[in-house]
Amino acid sequence: MGSKMPTALVILAAGKGTRMNSDLPKVLHTLAGAPLLAHAMRADTDAEKVVIVAGHGAEQVAKSAHLYNPDAEIVLQTEQLGTGHAVGVARDTLAGFEGDVVVLYGDTPFISPETLREMQSARGRGHDVVVLGFEAQDPGRYGRLIEGTDDRLAAIVEAKEATEEQLAVTLCNSGVVCADAAQLFDLVGEIENNNAAEEYYLTDIVEIANAAGLSCTAVTCPEAETLGINSRAQLAEAEAAFQARARVAAMENGATLTAPDTVFFAFDTVIGRDVLIGPNVVFGPETTIESGVEIRAFCHLEGCHISEGAIIGPFARLRPGAEIGEDARIGNFVEVKNARLSIGAKVNHLSYIGDADIGQAANIGAGTITCNYDGVMKHKTVIGARAFIGSNTSIIAPVTIGEDAMTASGTVVTKDVPDEALAISRTPMVNKPGLATRIKNNLRAIKARKDKG
């Protein structure tokens, strides 16, 4: 095939999803940290236009779609009159579009870019309508793709209307269709609703196209790609399938997972080579791990970037905006949010680092807190290169601690600390001889009176 034709995606996302038993539109239930709809949108990230056909919860659907593609256009299907009708409501939005339209489903998250390229390749070979099929282990209720001669698709037959011979066919219909935009909408315009449900079925375009002398064909993909989500149980199955593939992909790309079944990836997790991932690690969205990183057990990482050679955990939490530099160390029970740690910086245990810039080779002692929030606004802490922050230091932002500076343990930092200075902020300790015994005796007497009363 020559140069790739422009492509538009029409993603059907109007259904309520009654079997989900939820107030949330079905396509917004999450899989690997992203809505089902976002997965469908990722099937062709190079599409020139993306049209979402929304209905139930349209405002929520639109808001979610725009998070992943601000240019996505939302059209409303006010009545649920079938898949053909749903495609038809996108006609005006795509008026004048010259290229192919691929019809996808917001609850079918696994259709791959490679499959869409194969469908467009079939279009390039001269077929007018390309339908995506799959060989089903249990064809059951699926519509059957009835093939003709010369690579042609003769018909799509619904299971309830199929003959015994047709029911023996295992090549089934996924519902995904690719056709020239103008031709697709012409065909959709001819669909009738003379069926028991009085709905307009997109599958009817194959019969209409064949009757008009157009060429229809089917390409196939693995059945797993066509998995549709209609219930919580199917959502769990899809999550398990996604994670299984993501784990294998990570290991094939050079990462070591010591307990693969306990590691969970997001839909967009990026893992470099020679990364060691311990058990019970969870990756949230927008996380990138460079090569040579070690992620120890029981870490939760989201919206962060970890540079080569860093060691994270165990029991660490990296939140959005965490930038961990080369060879940095984040230890147990450390939380980092919207903060940058430079090369070799260390926060080894029991600390919160938020809205901060930590210099090269700085060492943050146990129990350190950057007090970044005043109840209304966030404020930044800057800690210079090679600074040493003593244990149990509270840093009241906005404040800067200079290079090679130190804070004494237990210090509350309320103003800038110059380079090479030591900051100490403590109430002088006073010993009161015998006072501990008198206090204990007094408390015991009070307790004894309460027990008698």
Q: Which residues of 331-348 are buried (b: 16+ CB within 10 A; e: fewer)?
A: bbbbbbbbbbbbebbbbb
CB of 89 closer than 8 Å to CB of 12: no
Of the candidates 119, 103, 115, 113, the one whose C-alpha atom is nearest the C-alpha of residue 9 is 103
Token representation of residue 178: 């690719």
**Position 352, amino acid:** Y
29, 127, 349, 379: which one is catalytic?
Answer: 349
Known catalytic residue at 349 = yes
List the catalytic residues. 349
